[in-house]
Amino acid sequence: MAPSGSLAVPLAVLVLLLWGAPWTHGRRSNVRVITDENWRELLEGDWMIEFYAPWCPACQNLQPEWESFAEWGEDLEVNIAKVDVTEQPGLSGRFIITALPTIYHCKDGEFRRYQGPRTKKDFINFISDKEWKSIEPVSSWFGPGSVLMSSMSALFQLSMWIRTCHNYFIEDLGLPVWGSYTVFALATLFSGLLLGLCMIFVADCLCPSKKRRPQPYPYPSKKLLSESAQPLKKVEEEQEADEEDVSEEEAGSKEGTNKDFPQNAIRQRSLGPTLATDKS
C-alpha cells in the first residue's frame, strides 16, 4: 500500500500542472498578433499596438508590463496587440518603425504614437483618461493605409526577400559573396530591360504614333505668278534702260575720238616738212 500512496502525490501535481497550462495559455492569448495579412483590423475599433523585436533588451523588459496591461483590455474596451518586426518587415515600413519598442494607439483608423512611460499603470491611464486626444494624429499622407506607406511596405518586403535569397545562395548553394552579388546585378539588369520593353509596349498601345502623309507641293496660283512677274519685268526694263544709256555713252565717246584723229593727222603732216628742214 505504501508504493501506491507515494505515487498519488506526483500524479496529483501532474494533473494540476496540466490543468493550469490552458489557463496560462489563455492569459497570453490576450495579446493579439498582427501580421501583413490581418493588419487592416486595426482600422476599426480601439487598439494599442507594440512593435518589438525578440533580440531587443528594452522590448524584453516591456513584455511583462504589456502582458499585464492586456489583462485589462476587455475592461477598458481596447484591443492589445503586438508586431514582431523581424517577421513582419512590411509593417515595419508601413508604420516607419525607427526605434524599438514603438507603441501606437489607433482609434477608428487614426494612429497616434505613444511616447509616455511604459508601465501598466500609465497604459491604463492613457486609455481610461483618454489622454490620446491630446496627441496629434499621424497625417493621412503618412498613414499606414496611404499609397506612400504601401509603397514603403512593398520596398521593405522586397529588401527582406533579397536578404533571404542572398543567405540561400551563400549558405545552401555555397556560392561566394561576389557570386551572389553578380546574380543580383544580372537580375536587376534583365528586369530593367523587361520593364522598359513593357513601358514602351503600353505607351504604343495607349498613344499610337500617327503616320503622316507627305503633303503635296503647293503650286503658285496665276495671281501670284502675275504679281511676282511684275517686279521682274520692272527690273528687266531698268536693266535694258541702263544698257541703252551705256551703249549711247560708248557711241558718243567713239565719235569724239574719230573727230580728233583727222586733226592729229593733219598736224603731224604739217610738222613733218619742218622737222626735215631742221635736220638738214
224 versus 136: the higher-pLDDT residue is 136
Q: State mean pLDDT over 1-21.
A: 45
What does pLDDT average to over the chain?
76
244 versus 20: the higher-pLDDT residue is 244
* Percentage with pLDDT > 90 across the chain: 28
Q: 91: left (phi > 0), else alpha (psi -120 to 50), else beta?
A: alpha
Cβ neighbours around 132 below 10 Å, total: 18
Catalytic sites, residue numbers: 56, 59
242 versus 192: the higher-pLDDT residue is 192
Confidence (pLDDT) at 139: 83
Is pLDDT of 117 > 80?
yes
Is pLDDT of 130 > 80?
yes
Q: 45: left (phi > 0), else alpha (psi -120 to 50), else beta?
A: left
Q: How far lies 77's CA from each of 87, 136, 137, in Å?
A: 28, 22, 20
83-86 — which CB contacts under 8 Å span 24+ positions?
83/33, 83/34, 83/35, 83/49, 83/50, 83/51, 83/52, 84/33, 84/52, 84/53, 84/54, 85/51, 85/52, 85/53, 86/53, 86/54, 86/55
**pTM for the full model?**
0.56
Taking every pair of Cα atoms in the chain, the longest distance, rounded to a whole number of angstroms, is 199
CB-based contact 125:131 (threshold 8 Å) = yes
CB-based contact 103:114 (threshold 8 Å) = yes
Confidence (pLDDT) at 162: 80
Contacts (Cβ under 8 Å, ≥6 apart) of 160: 89
DSSP 8-state code for residue 114: E
- Least confident range from 36-40, 46-50, 200-204: namely 200-204
User: What does the pLDDT look like over 40-85, one tens digit per residue?
Assistant: 999 889 999 999 999 999 999 999 999 999 999 989 999 999 999 9
User: Per residue, what are the HEC states of 42-81?
Assistant: HHCCEEEEEEECCCCHHHHHHHHHHHHHHCCHHHHCCEEE
Smallest Cα–Cα separation from 82: which of 130, 21, 28?
Answer: 28
Is pLDDT of 109 > 50?
yes
230 versus 135: the higher-pLDDT residue is 135
| Cell numbers at 101, concatenated | 519598442
Confidence (pLDDT) at 16: 43
Q: Which residues lie across from 82 on neighbouring strands?
A: 33, 50
Question: In sequence order, what E strands does 13-152 have?
Answer: 32-33, 46-52, 79-84, 102-107, 110-114
CA 264 – CA 258 distance, rounded (Å): 10
Confidence (pLDDT) at 185: 86
Confidence (pLDDT) at 203: 83
Confidence (pLDDT) at 183: 83
CB-based contact 65:123 (threshold 8 Å) = yes
User: What does the pLDDT look like over 206-255, one tens digit per residue?
Assistant: 887 766 666 665 555 555 556 555 666 666 777 777 777 666 666 666 55
Q: State mean pLDDT over 184-205.
A: 86
User: What does the pLDDT look like over 147-159, one tens digit per residue?
Assistant: 887 787 777 777 7
- Least confident range from 33-37, 48-52, 127-131, 154-158: namely 154-158
Confidence (pLDDT) at 248: 67
